[in-house]
Every structure is written in structure tokens, then in C-alpha cells.
Structure 1
Amino acid sequence: MLAKDLSYAQSSFSFMGSGQHRIIQDEETFETKYDPYKAVRDYIQNESKKAIGHMKSGATSRSVGCLNVYHSTEFNHFISKQDSYIYN
């Protein structure tokens, strides 16, 4: 399932520091203030609930809904806002 894969990717990138995006933490408590990987995962999961995909057979599919979200203009706009968290 796409949501599970996204969760694994989010966890591995943020934990290992392999991603390009900064995770914002409170300097004293180390509480996560903003995690762009989690934000993307949450965005796709929340929006896919609204965008259930319909297959040719007439059945519904959450995976197709996730793909519909992934290919949407709104998702591209959301992703572009994450660029401010990229570090070099």
C-alpha cells in the first residue's frame, strides 16, 4: 500500500538524515516542530480519503485515490512549499 511505503520512506529519510529537507526541532526540548516528510505523508493520506479512485470495473480503490492526489495540481503546489526546508 502506498501509504505504508510513504511511511517507511518518511521514517528512514528523517531518521537517517538521508533526505535533503530539514526537520525543524525545538532546540531545548528536541520536540519536532515541522517534519516535511510527515507533512507530505499526512497530506496524501488525508486527501486520498476524499479522492477515492474508481476502477474500470466500478470498484473503488484507495491506491488509485493516492495516485489521483499525487498527480493533482494541488499536490504539486503543496510540494513546492516544502522547498523552503531544503538544505544544501
Structure 2
Amino acid sequence: MKRMLAVLLLTAGHLGSVAYAGVDVAAARQSLKNYGLGYCIVNQFKAESDLKRDIESAIGGYSFMGKGMHSIQQNEDTLETLHDPYEATTDFVSSLYEKTQANSKHRDKKVVFHACLAIYNAQAFDDFIKTQDPYITR
């Protein structure tokens, strides 16, 4: 009887962890990473264009107010933002952008798309994205 109870409790505990593991962490990470890429590109261009508006729409879709999978942590009493994974991502991408070399012999300034892709594919960006896992909507 004790064995059956132990097996039942272990199974129930296992089912609870499966439900928790049912959160698509990889998809949430990818969504936040895509948000960062969009921000990296669009932030470098000040003039309005069809391309800029399109990227801004994509960013909106990846954000918390769109279909983003990360939640913003707030103080429930004051509504002060305690942590915003989207803001943290834009800050991180901005800091890496300044350090990323992406010059071309054909231009006298940084090639935005090349720099942003370098950031997107950097191990440092992957590592940062993982630090935002505690804010994935469960």
C-alpha cells in the first residue's frame, strides 16, 4: 500500500513538472530574441519608411502587449515596473551595438543589418536571453 501511495505521489509530482515543462521556453526565448533583432535594426534609422513601419509592427507583435511570452514584473501597490524583459533586451542590444564592428569599405558608417545580425547570432545574446527565463509567462 505504501508503495502504491509513493508511486501515485511520484506520478502526480511528475505530472505537475510536465505541466510546468509544457511552457515552450524555446519559443519564448526566440520571441524575445526576435524582438531584440527588430529593435536593433529599427532603432538605427530615424527617418520614416515602409520598412521601418513594418519592423515596428513586428516589434509590437513580439512585445508584451502583442504576443510576447514574457511578463513585466510590477509592484502591485505602486505599479512601479520592477523588471521589464523587453526593456532589458533593448538596453542589452543597444550596448552591444555600440561595441560591434560592422564597417564596410563601401560606406563610411556602420552597416546596421550586418551589426544587428552579428548581435543576434552572438553567444552573449543567447546567454542574456536565458537570464530572462524567470519572466516567461507560465
Same-fold status (TM-score > 0.5): yes
Number of aligned residue pairs: 87
Q: TM-score if structure 1 supplies the norm length?
A: 0.76
Tell me the SS of whatever aligns to 2:82: strand
Structure with bigger strand share is: 1
- Of all paired residues, the percent bearing the same amino acid is 31
For structure 1, which segment, 56-65 or 69-78, has the greater mean C-alpha deviation from structure 2 after superposition? 56-65
For structure 1, list consecutive stretches of 5 or more residues without a partner in the other structure: none
Query: What per-residue deviation string (whole Å, max 9, x for no partner) do you get for residues 22-58 of structure 1?
Result: 1000111101111001111111111101103123536
1:26-45 correspondence to structure 2 within 5 Å: 26-45=75-94
Q: TM-score if structure 2 supplies the norm length?
A: 0.52
Aligned-residue CA RMSD in angstroms?
2.7
Q: Which of 107, 125, 129 is matched with 1:75 structurally?
A: 125
For structure 2, list consecutive stretches of 5 or more residues without a partner in the other structure: 1-39, 44-54
Tell me the SS of whatever aligns to 1:54: coil
* Runs of 4 or more above 4 Å deviation: none
Tell me the SS of whatever aligns to 1:53: coil
- Distance of 1:32 and 1:11 partners within structure 2: 21
Q: What amino acid maps onto 1:81 in structure 2? A: T
